[in-house]
């Protein structure tokens, strides 16, 4: 694959690899863990295409996101470095130009993955341990569709809600991490007789 220049190119390469892996091992759950900067703009349309490919391949995207707490930006024609503006300003700029400035977190949310912030190099090991522990503590739910349902090419919304009570009857708070939808497997139309 060509060497990526932009973040969406890197994710496109990753999507192609996991699609092949998912086809070879259809009963496996693939989890992508990347190291991503917190601010990495990409066109919303490119982001959504990648999300669709990852959801179709049954993949969780769980990036380790480098914290931009001390981040700075350098502008092309202005000398020096400047602190990153607050997130609402970046979000507004992104919406104006049709880009998602925080694409890694959005992709994680859409695929049911978990974005984890890391602040220093020493935090990477703990972040990976937390990610693995979270995956081990998950319940996997599945469902089947009617045999006559065909792929319409659209994502179908999926919402998972959970209520649980402890032994004393008190309602517990649970975190639900689930992909935001699903695509039906592409099926060949029945052959004409």
Domain architecture of the chain: domains with CATH: 7-142 (3.40.50)
Q: Give per-residue pLDDT as tens, 147-181.
A: 777 767 777 788 888 888 888 989 988 878 888 88
φ, ψ of residue 14 to 5 degrees: the values are: -65, -45
What is residue 86's predicted lDDT score, i.e. its pLDDT? 72
DSSP state of 83: E
What is d(CA 180, CA 30) in angstroms, rounded to the nearest whole number? 17
What is residue 192's predicted lDDT score, i.e. its pLDDT? 55
Quickly tell me which residue has 């970046």 as its tokens.
90
Against a cut of 0.85, is the pTM above it? no
Kind of pairing, strands 59-61 and 30-32? Answer: parallel
Q: Give per-residue pLDDT as tens, 105-163.
A: 889 999 999 888 888 888 889 999 998 888 888 777 777 777 777 767 777 788 888 88
- Residues 104, 105, 109, 110, CA torsion sign: negative
The radius of gyration of the chain from alpha carbons, rounded to an integer in Å, stands at 20
HSE, CB side, 13 Å, CA atoms: give it for residue 10.
12
pLDDT surpasses 80 at 83: no
Stretch (H or E) spanning 156: strand 156-157
Nearest C-alpha neighbor of 46 from the set 81, 76, 4 = 4
pLDDT surpasses 80 at 73: no
What is residue 75's predicted lDDT score, i.e. its pLDDT? 62
pLDDT surpasses 60 at 189: no
């Amino acid at each position: 694959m060509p060497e990526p220049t932009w973040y969406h190119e890197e994710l496109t390469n990753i999507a192609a690899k996991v699609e092949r892996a998912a086809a070879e091992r259809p009963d496996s759950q693939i989890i992508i863990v990347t190291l991503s900067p917190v601010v990495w703009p990409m066109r919303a349309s490119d982001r959504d295409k990648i999300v669709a490919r990852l959801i179709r391949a049954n993949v969780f995207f769980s990036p380790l996101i480098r914290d931009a707490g001390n981040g700075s930006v350098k502008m092309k024609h202005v000398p020096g470095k400047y602190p990153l503006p607050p997130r609402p300003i970046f979000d507004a700029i992104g919406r104006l130009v049709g880009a998602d400035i925080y694409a890694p977190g959005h992709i994680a949310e859409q695929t049911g993955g978990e974005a984890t912030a890391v602040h220093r190099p020493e935090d990477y090991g703990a972040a990976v341990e937390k990610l693995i522990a979270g995956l081990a503590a998950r319940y996997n739910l599945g469902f089947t569709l009617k045999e006559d349902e065909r792929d319409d090419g659209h994502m179908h919304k999926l919402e998972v809600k959970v209520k649980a009570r402890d032994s004393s009857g008190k309602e517990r708070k649970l975190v639900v991490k689930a992909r935001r939808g699903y695509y039906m497997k592409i099926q060949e139309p029945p052959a004409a007789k």
